[in-house]
Structure 1
Amino acid sequence: MAARIIAVCNQKGGVGKTTLVTGLAEVLSRDLLLKVLVVDADPQRNTTSTLGIVDPEFTLNDVLYGDEEQKHRILPGVAADAVMPAGDAWQGGHPSLDLIASERNLASRERDSMMAREGRLRTALRGVADQYDIVLIDCPPSLGLLTVNALTAATHALMVSEPRVGSVEGLTEIVTTIAEVQESLNENLDVVGIVVNKKKKNRLDQDRWIMQMRQDYDGFVLEPSLFDREIYAKSQAGYVPLKTFGSSSTIELASLKRLAENIMERTAP
C-alpha cells in the first residue's frame, strides 16, 4: 500500500509547524506503531534540530541539487541516500522514526530554474515513501518552490494556523496555492484539513477566529486544537520528545494522539 505523504504547510511563519510535525511523528510512531519518515523541507531546519540531528552529512539540499555528472538530474529514489534515524531520544519502543534532514543552504533551491523543478522531490521520494506508513513533510513558511515541491510530492496537504488575524488570513493564500498545484501539478492532492495551534485558554478573540475558520472552511477544521504550552518549547530546546517529561506531557500527548487518529482516518484510502 502506498504511503500517505502529508505536506504540513502555511505561508505564515511562527504558527508552530515544527511543534505539530514532531509531535505527530512522536505519537504516530510510539503510540500508533507506524513507520514514519519526516522530511524537513524548511531551511530553518528546526525540525531537524528537534529530532536530535545536529550536523547531517547528506541533506534534502543535496537530494534536490541532483547529480552533477548527469547535469543535476534527479534520480528516482535518490532520497533514500539522505534517510537517517532520528536522534537516540526519539528511538525505542516503536517500528521506526526516520528523517531526511535540512540545512541552511536548502534555501538556495528556491532559485532553481531547471526543467520540471516543481517535481524534483516527488521523483526523489519515488519508492522510498512506500517503505513507510506515513511521510510528514515540514514545509517552509513561504509559497515558494520548496513548498510547491512538497505539495507536488504529497498525497495530502495539512494546514496549520494560529487563531489570530495574520495566520487566518494566510490560510487564504495557501489554499490558493494548493488549488493551483492540484490543477497543474498534482491532481491527486487532497486536503486533510486545518490544525488550530497555539490556542490560549479564556481568550474570546481567539474563540471568534476559530469560529470564523469553521464558517469559512466548513468541515476542515480538525479536532482537537493544540494549546500554547511551555512544554512544546522545552521539547524543541532540549531536542527530545514530549514523553521525556513524563506526566507533565500527558495532556499534550493525548491531544496529539487524538489529532493523529483523526488525520489517519481522514487520509485512509
Structure 2
Amino acid sequence: MQIVSISSLKGGVGKSSVVLGLASAALEARIPTLVVDLDPHGDASTGLGVHARSGKDVGSVLRRPRRGALGAVATASPWAQHPITPETPVATAREWAPDASARSRRPVLDVAPGSAASSHLDHAAFRPRDLRRLETALRGLDRYELVLVDCPPTLSALTRMAWAASHKVLSVAEPSLFSVAGTQRTMSALAQFEGSRVWAVPEAGVVVNRVQDSSPEQQHRLRELRELFGPLVVDPVLPDVSVVQRAQGAAWPVHRWPGSEAEDLARRFSTVLEGLTR
C-alpha cells in the first residue's frame, strides 16, 4: 500500500481538485484506492459523492485510533458505478481501458469522509504520539494499493500526521506570486519535518495546477517554480480548464467526462499517477 499526501500551505490552489483527478486516474487504472479526507471542509468527499455521517468520519476515528480503524468508515464512492458517458468518443474509451491484468479487477474507490469533526486536530500544538494516529488507523488495510490523503491548507497536527504516514508528499502550487511563496513555505516545512529523522518522507514533489499557457505572468511564475524546485516539479502541469468545475459539480470522474478538454486533462492526471506509482 502506497500512501500519498496532497498538501499546500496556501488555500485556493485546487488541492482537492488534484486529489479528485488522481482518484479518477486510479479508478480508470483499476488501482484499489482509498481517499482519506483530512480537511475539515470535506471538499474531496463531496466531489466523490460521499457525505459523512455522525461518528462515521475521519475525525471521529482519529480521536481514538485503532489499527485499521479507517476501514470501518470507508464508504464506496458512486464514481465506481459511473459508466463512460454515451457522449464519450469510442477511441477515448479504448485508449483509457486498463490492461488485461487490471481489467478483471472490480473497481474500488472508497472514501474515508471528512467533516468538521476533525477540527479538534487542526491546530499547531501536538504531542509526538499524535503523529501516529493516521498511520495506526491505516495499518493493515491491505485491500488498498493506493491511499490519497487530502490535507488541510494549514501546518496543523492533521497535516503533520498525514506526512508522518506518507511515502510521498505532493505540494500543489499555482503559477502565481503568492502561490510560489506558499509552495516555498510548504517545502521548507516539509524539510524541517524530515529533519527530525523520525518522520522522514521518502519522496516529495510539486504539482503545478491551473496553468494558463496564454498568460505571460503565469509562464514567468512557472519558470520560477522550475528554478526553485528543479526536478521536484512534476510533469505534466495541469491546465486551467472549465471542465474541472463541470465534472466536480456533477460529482463525476474526469476520465469519464466527454470532450477533448476532459480527455487531455485525464491524460495528464494518468501520467502524474503513473509517476507516483512507479
Identity of aligned residues (%): 27
Question: CA separation in 1, counterparts of 2:198 and 2:267?
Answer: 34
Aligned-residue CA RMSD (Å): 2.0
Aligned length in residues? 254
Of 245, 249, 254 in structure 1, the residue corresponding to residue 257 of structure 2 is 245
Asked if the contact 1:48/1:101 (under 8 Å) is kept, the reply is yes
Of 235, 248, 260 in structure 2, the residue corresponding to residue 236 of structure 1 is 248
Asked if the contact 1:86/1:97 (under 8 Å) is kept, the reply is yes
Matched, 1:41 2:38: yes
1:2-49, Cα deviation, whole Å (9 max, x unpaired): x1100100110011111111111111121x221111100101110000
- The corresponding residue for 2:5 is 7
Question: CA separation in 2, counterparts of 1:202 and 1:114?
Answer: 47
Equivalence map 1:1-269=2 (5 Å): 3-30=1-28, 32-57=29-54, 58-66=56-64, 74-88=65-79, 95-111=107-123, 116-128=129-141, 130-184=142-196, 186-248=198-260, 249-265=262-278
Against the structure 1 CA distance between its residues 83 and 200, is the aligned structure 2 distance closer, same or farther, given a 3 Å change threshold? Answer: same
Against the structure 1 CA distance between its residues 224 and 164, is the aligned structure 2 distance closer, same or farther, given a 3 Å change threshold? Answer: same
Question: CA separation in 1, counterparts of 2:35 and 2:241?
Answer: 23
Against the structure 1 CA distance between its residues 55 and 82, is the aligned structure 2 distance closer, same or farther, given a 3 Å change threshold? Answer: closer
Question: CA separation in 2, counterparts of 1:113 and 1:175?
Answer: 20
Question: CA separation in 1, counterparts of 2:126 and 2:207?
Answer: 33
1:129-155, Cα deviation, whole Å (9 max, x unpaired): x32111100011111111001001111
1:236-269, Cα deviation, whole Å (9 max, x unpaired): 222121244322521111111122112223xxxx
Please report the TM-score for the alignment, with normalisation by the length of structure 2: 0.85
Against the structure 1 CA distance between its residues 90 and 166, is the aligned structure 2 distance closer, same or farther, given a 3 Å change threshold? Answer: farther
Which blocks of at least 5 consecutive residues in structure 2 are unaligned? Answer: 84-102
Asked if the contact 1:197/1:225 (under 8 Å) is kept, the reply is yes
Question: CA separation in 1, counterparts of 2:207 and 2:252?
Answer: 22
Asked if the contact 1:110/1:145 (under 8 Å) is kept, the reply is yes
Question: CA separation in 2, counterparts of 1:192 and 1:126?
Answer: 22
Paired residue type of 1:157: V
Question: CA separation in 1, counterparts of 2:17 and 2:120?
Answer: 25
Question: CA separation in 2, counterparts of 1:148 and 1:98?
Answer: 23
Paired residue type of 1:123: T
Ranges of 4+ aligned residues in structure 1 off by more than 3 Å: 88-94, 111-115, 185-188
Question: CA separation in 2, counterparts of 1:192 and 1:114?
Answer: 24
Which blocks of at least 5 consecutive residues in structure 1 are unaligned? Answer: 67-73
Paired residue type of 2:68: G
SS at match of 2:34: strand
Against the structure 1 CA distance between its residues 192 and 114, is the aligned structure 2 distance closer, same or farther, given a 3 Å change threshold? Answer: closer
Question: CA separation in 1, counterparts of 2:198 and 2:274?
Answer: 25
